[in-house]
Amino acid sequence: MPKAYTQIHHLALRAFTTNVFKSLGVPDDEAALAADVLAYSDEHGIDSHGIARLKTYFDLLKAGRINPRPNLKVLREKHAVSTIDGDNGLGLVVGPKCMDIAIEKTHKHGSGSIAVCNTNHYGAAGYYPLMAVKEDFIGLSMTNTTKGVAPFNGKEKMLGTNPIALAFPSLNEPEVVIDFASSTVAYGKVEIAHREGEIIPLGWCLDKNGLPTNRPEEMIDGGALLPLGSTKEGSGHKGYCLAGAVDILSAVLSGANWGPFATPFAINSAMPEIQVGKGIGHFFNAWDIEGFRDLTDFKKSMDHWIVTMRNTVAMEGGTKVLVPGDPERKSYSIRMEDGIPVHQIILDQLKTISQSCNVPLP
C-alpha cells in the first residue's frame, strides 16, 4: 500500500458518512441509506464513487443545492410503469427508494419500470440492480450525468458518462453484476493519470480543438471524453448510441435535464444557462424471473453460464477470463480484511468536513 493511503475500517467509514449526512439535516434512516450506497463503492473497489465523492455531496447539501428531506411524488403511473419526482433529494436516497418502487411493481405486475426526474448523482449504478437480485429479480439501472463526452464525430461535451448496470441472480456461483460507463473510460481515470503525471492511451479523449490527445491535462482543459469504441475503426458510434439511449430513458422520459443541460455535480461548476427539465434523471427496471422461467432452472443455467465463461481459454498474454462482478468481489474480500484505502487528498477533505459539521473523523 503506497504511503498516500490510510486504511480505514469499513464500519468506521460508514458511521462517519452516516453522521455527516445526519448533521446536514438528512433523516436518520435516509442518512444510513445514503451511506450504504457510498459504502458499496468503497467496499467493492469502485473508488471513484464512494467516500471520494462525500465532499461534493456535503458542499451541495450545505449550499442548499440538494434538498436533505425530499418528498418523493408520483408524477404519472400506469400499472407497471411510473415517473417519480425526486424533489431535488440526494440521488443516494432517491435512487434506492425508486428502485424499491420498481421492485414493488415487479412483485405485482411481473416487471416494474421507474423513470426519475429532479434527482442528483446516485453513486455507483451497480448498487441498484443488486437490490433486485436480493428479491430474485433481474435488475437494471442507468442515469444521465453532467456533460463530459463528445458524440461520435463531435468535439464538444454533449453527453455524460451515462452508466448502465444490470445484475442477474445465480444459485451456487456469485451473481453476475454489470456496471460500466458508456464512455471509453470514466473521467476519474483521466484525473488519476493527471495526478500521477502519466500519459494516457489515444482513444480516451480529445483536446479542446477536437484532436485526439494522450495528455490528460489537454482533456481537462476544455477537451472531451470519447464514447466507448473511441474511433471510427473502433465503432465509437456504438458508445454514442449507448450514451444517447441512457440519456433519453433517464432524462427525456422523466422530464429531467438531458444531454448538455444536465445539472453539474460540483459546487463550483456553473449551472447550464438553459434548463430543459428538473435535475438529472435515472431509469430503473426489474423483471420477475418466475414470470419467464422456473427460478431454480434459471439460476442453475446462470451457474453453468458463469462456469462456462470462466473456463474460456485465455488469449496470449491475457489473464484469466472473469465474469462481470468478479473484480469487485475480489476487492470486497480484501477490503473487509484490510480496511478501505483512503487517499490523503480524500482524507484531507474528510478532515474539513469533520471540522465543519463536528463529526469525529473515522
Closest separation in Å from C-beta 335 to its own copies: 21
Surface-to-core class of residue 183, CB atoms within 10 Å of its CB (0-12 exposed, 13-18 middle, 19+ buried):
buried
From candidates 319, 337, 358, 360, binder to its own copies by CB under 8 A: 319
Residue (13 or 99) nearer to its own copies, CB:
99
Cα separation, 177 vs 207, in Å, equals 33
Single out the segment in contact with its own copies by CB under 8 A; choices: 42-50, 65-73, 93-101, 289-297. 289-297
Assess 174 for contact with its own copies (CB under 8 A).
Answer: no
Bridge partners, residue 117, by sequence: 85
Residue (76 or 134) nearer to its own copies, CB:
76
Closest separation in Å from C-beta 303 to its own copies: 10
Assess 133 for contact with its own copies (CB under 8 A).
Answer: no
Assess 248 for contact with its own copies (CB under 8 A).
Answer: yes
Closest separation in Å from C-beta 297 to its own copies: 7
Cα separation, 257 vs 291, in Å, equals 34
From candidates 39, 253, 342, 353, binder to its own copies by CB under 8 A: 253
DSSP state at residue 136: T
From candidates 50, 89, 96, 255, binder to its own copies by CB under 8 A: 255
Q: How many CB atoms lie within 10 A of CB 16?
A: 21
Q: Which three cell numbers stand for residue 123?
A: 453513486
Single out the segment in contact with its own copies by CB under 8 A; choices: 88-96, 263-271, 293-301, 350-358. 293-301
Bridge partners, residue 45, by sequence: none
Residue (59 or 328) nearer to its own copies, CB:
328
Assess 144 for contact with its own copies (CB under 8 A).
Answer: no
From candidates 50, 244, 341, 362, binder to its own copies by CB under 8 A: 244
Closest separation in Å from C-beta 206 to its own copies: 6
Q: Assign 116 to helix, strand or coil.
A: strand
* Packing angle of the helix pair 28-43, 91-109 (nearest 10 deg): 90
> If you write DSSP's letter for every residue of 163-203 in order, what string do you get?
EEEEEE--SSSPPEEEEEESBSS-HHHHHHHHHHT----TT
From candidates 2, 64, 197, 318, binder to its own copies by CB under 8 A: 318
Map the footprint of its own copies across residues 60-79, applying CB under 8 A: 75-79
Annotate each residue in 211-240 with x if it binds its own copies (CB under 8 A) or - if it does not, as one string: x----------------xxx--xxx-xxxx
What is the total count of residues that contact its own copies (CB under 8 A)? 91
Q: Which residues contact 327 (CB under 8 A, 6 or more apart)?
A: 45
User: What are phi and psi for residue 67, nearest 5 degrees?
Assistant: -85, 115
What is the b/e burial string over 214-226, where b = at least 16 CB atoms within 10 angstroms of the residue's CB? Answer: bbbebbeeebbbb
Map the footprint of its own copies across residues 76-115, applying CB under 8 A: 76-83, 108-111, 113, 115
> If you write DSSP's letter for every residue of 272-285 in order, what string do you get?
PS---SSSEEEEEE
Indicate the residue type of 61: L
From candidates 36, 87, 100, 180, binder to its own copies by CB under 8 A: 180
Closest separation in Å from C-beta 337 to its own copies: 25
Closest separation in Å from C-beta 170 to its own copies: 10
